[in-house]
Amino acid sequence: MPAVELNNICKSYNDNLVVDNVSFTVAQGEIFGLIGPNGAGKTTTIRMMMDITKPDSGEISILGESLNEATKNRVGYLPEERGLYRKVRVLDTLVYLASLKGLGVRAARSRAEELLKRVDMLPHKDKKVEELSRGMGQIIQFLVTLIHDPQLLVLDEPFAGLDPVNTKLLKEMILELRNQGKAIVLSTHMMNEVEALCDRILMINKGCTVLYGELAEIKSRYRNNSVFLEFDGVLGEIEGVVGKKEHGEYVELFLDKETPPQKILRQLASRGVSVNRFEVSTPSLNEIFLQVVEKGQ
């Protein structure tokens, strides 16, 4: 049973189609990246998953059923728009919001303390939320998302506004959750985080799906078939190379369709060229993202 299954979801506001026929599934135990530029329809898609807004058409299944009170208790949601009750103490906030997820007060309290300890924030438990720094507040909100031990976590831009230390902490915790078998939907436009964490992705632009699948497969699909080479000596003509681009310290060699990179390396070795760096070029997700978005415009 997939953790999330969306089939042909459409949503429009004031005759403006913001999500157009989007479908995807998220398996248990995987980190799924929902990526796209600002205004692509990511947050609207997530709000429909969370039953905060209704889709105009299409079907949504969360943990095998349409979202109801019982399933809501098994889902953790970190919204993009952050905030907590400013005048309420940290521990009380965690306990109240956990109780709305079906956790008993006593269990919520001990779980809250355990999580605060995990993020080194136990000494702050009696502080009011307004006394915390922005980053600390975000960590507390992340704890709200997972305090009730949900089976599915939906994180909308979880790293936005976090410093490198807290970003690292959050990443570690997300990976821990994945290792515990939880499904995680990560919506972001920070591509380096997606590359580091996600197993599969869905890229949407202007409400439409533009890329969907395994991250590694997508990257190989968008490969230029070129290699980066840093060397000493004379290069000369190399069989299978159809173009060359200087990048200062190194050159990029563009290969014809039949030539694998290994063949180039063999030729270089046979000529006695001293190779300092040889790297098969794979475009970063950021480059793919830009390429796809620009193509769509």
Partner 1 sequence: MNKTILILKREFGQTIKRKSFIIITLAFPVLILIAIGIFSFIQGIEKPLVPSEVISIGYVDEVGGFSGYTEQPGEPTVILMGYNTPEEATSALLAGEISQYFIIPSNYVATGVVTRYTLQRELEPPGGIQWALKSFLLSNLLEGQTSPEVMERTKAPMGLVSIRLDETGQVATDQGGFGALIVPLAVGFLLIISIFSSSGSLLQGLGEEKENRVMEILLSSVSARQLLTGKVLGLGAAGLVQVVIWLLSAVFLVRWTSTLIGGFAGTLQIPDNFLVLGIVYFILVYLFFAVLMASIGAIGANARDSQQLSMILIMPAWIPLWGLFFFLNNPDHVVSRILTMIPVTAPLMVFVRLGTSEIPTWELVMSISILIAGIIGGLLLAAKLFRTFLLMYGKRPRLGEIIKSLREA
Residues 6+ apart with CB under 8 A from 171: 193, 196, 197
Q: Which tokens go with 70?
A: 């019982």
Nearer to partner 1, 144 or 288 (CB): 144
As measured in angstroms, the least distance from the Cβ of 56 to partner 1 is: 10
The Cα–Cα gap between 65 and 45 comes to 17
Distances (CA, A) of 89 to 19, 118, 121: 38, 18, 13
Nearer to partner 1, 82 or 219 (CB): 82
Nearer to partner 1, 85 or 224 (CB): 85
Buried b (16+ CB within 10 A) or exposed e, 9-48: bbbeeeeeebbbebebbbeeebbbbbbbbeebbbbbbbbb
The Cα–Cα gap between 221 and 283 comes to 10
**Residue 292 burial (CB < 10 Å; 0-12/13-18/19+)?**
middle
Q: Cα–chain-centroid distance for residue 69?
A: 27
As measured in angstroms, the least distance from the Cβ of 262 to partner 1 is: 51
- The string of DSSP letters for 201-239 reads EEEEETTEEEEEEEHHHHHHHT--SEEEEEEES-----T
Residues that bind partner 1 (CB under 8 A): 14, 47, 50-53, 69, 72-73, 75, 77, 79, 81-86, 96-97, 99-101, 141, 144
Under DSSP, the state recorded for 130 is G
Distances (CA, A) of 42 to 4, 96, 173, 263, 285: 15, 28, 23, 43, 17
Closest CA to 110 of 128, 122, 124: 122
